Chains A and B, each alone.
Chain A
């Protein structure tokens, strides 16, 4: 069953997918750091979604939606307009290429990301491991 993007149900599905992914566990076994994934509104999407992921050594300890960006102080912020984020989830663009061309931006400890680039790729693979439906 397709899950609506930008909902707590979607965050729960992602947490499950991460828990089930051996590839993510291996790629992120030394990963320490929580993340905001911030979807910014654009012509195709009028909402601003903030999803919080607490990622720790290959596990996802928490996945939830956040209303106020100041609620937590995550180590990383990944942000970009909805259309660019959707292209990644639709597997139309490579997530790392998207970050390298500035379509999606990253703020945080870059040295750790450079040490574990596959963790980012496998996290995106987890996001595409279940069917997503996007709001009209």
Chain B
């Protein structure tokens, strides 16, 4: 027995106007200063005001949101007493908003206590949650996962519970137009990693497979175009859709080893999430290798690529992903990422411990031990294909 959970998804040009149809009195907008500066919050407020909804803005969400930021938001939210929480931003904003909404509705459950084993949260009584995506990567607008950073412990908390899924996901490509090329590329790699891991993890299922494959196809075609020209609105729309589709695909299966290693790296070196998981993706495909060879072949086939005689689909796929990453100017190794080798060495045990403790690891088709995890980091540092 398993579940397939998805919010109402409103997508395409003018999807933001769904906000004007909401029923309610007050909204608490969760966002970051960059989104405010881009003028996107004005657009959101305008739609909400058409619905007769007043709004209060909390714009203090930082990249890799901390528990402390979430606490601050909850405090303000509790004063404002909204019937809608509207998250406008990328994964960090949407994750913070999901966590704030839980604790606002259920003060007895602290954000860091959100876990998949609790049920009957009874959300949706005090407020409902709308997530408006401004990046095309995390798919957080449609997922029930939250990643927060415990700054004291230098680790990321991957929290999950299917009841925290947003009520409405708004996927309006116009909101992604302002994304600079660097963010377009690394968030796109995040979406690709979701789709590949959702398709290949041990919890993959019939409901998610098609979504993941379609997302992979879209990303390979449209990500380079979106990076090259942010005003290519066809590419923007397809990437926005792909990210949401990949989000739905992976959250109902799960992400795996690239996420475990990527989370670990991000917590120590503050690498943007998409860049970190995307960098590890080809290495983890090679590491998992034989255990998922048929699935790698299915992906390769869906991309209309061929597996030459004597080669493995895992290595063809890993190379295709490296080629894509190179095209969009994403780093292929930790060295290219600019991590000094002495820092890597001094952080190695922390990187290993974080990886081993990451929830994503349990659905990897091949789980590395500590020694193999260290080798994964060292190979990824050198940009060396995995051969163990």
Contacts and interface: CB of A to CB of B under 8 A. Distances in A.
Interface of A: 22-23, 26-27, 30, 94, 96-97, 99-103, 105-106, 110-111, 113-118, 121
B369 A100 contact: no
Contacts of B202: 94
A26 B119 contact: no
B359 A117 contact: yes
Contacts of A110: 113, 115, 117-118
Interface string B192-232: 00000000001100000000000000000000000000000
A26 B352 CA distance: 11
B370 A116 contact: no
Contacts of A114: 115, 157-159, 359
A97 B356 CA distance: 19
Contacts of A115: 357
B362 interface: yes
A117 B112 contact: no
Given A101-B2, A102-B119, A118-B367, A111 B112 contact: yes
B1 A101 contact: yes
Given A113-B117, A118-B362, 13 more contacts: A23-B367, A94-B202, A94-B203, A96-B362, A97-B2, A100-B117, A106-B117, A111-B112, A111-B115, A113-B115, A115-B357, A118-B367, A121-B362
A29 to B, nearest CB: 8
Contacts of A117: 359, 361-362
A118 B357 CA distance: 7
Nearest to B116: A100
A27 B359 contact: no
Q: Interface extent on B, as a size class?
A: 20 to 34
A108 to B, nearest CB: 10
Contacts of A100: 116-117
Contacts of B159: 114
B1 A103 contact: yes
A33 to B, nearest CB: 15
Contacts of A101: 1-3
A111 B81 CA distance: 28
A27 B113 contact: no
Contacts of B116: 96, 99-100
Interface in B1-21: 1-3
Contacts of A103: 1
A97 B160 CA distance: 13
Contacts of B112: 111
Interface in B122-180: 157-159
Interface string B339-366: 0000000000000000011010110000
A23 B364 CA distance: 14
B117 A27 contact: no
A116 B117 contact: no
B4 to A, nearest CB: 12
A117 B203 CA distance: 15
19 contacts: A26-B356, A26-B369, A27-B356, A96-B362, A99-B116, A101-B2, A101-B3, A105-B117, A110-B115, A111-B115, A113-B115, A113-B117, A114-B115, A114-B159, A114-B359, A115-B357, A117-B359, A117-B361, A118-B361
Contacts of A22: 369
A61 B370 CA distance: 23
Interface core residue of B113, B119, B357 (most chain A CB under 10 Å):
B357
A116 B112 CA distance: 14
Contacts of B117: 99-100, 105-106, 110, 113
B116 to A, nearest CB: 4
Interface core residue of B117, B159, B369 (most chain A CB under 10 Å):
B117
Nearest to A108: B117
Contacts of B2: 97, 101
Interface string B356-388: 110101100001011000000000000000000
A99 B117 CA distance: 6
Nearest to B371: A26
A136 B118 CA distance: 34
A100 B115 CA distance: 9
A106 B119 CA distance: 12
Contacts of A27: 356
Nearest to A102: B119
Contacts of B1: 101, 103
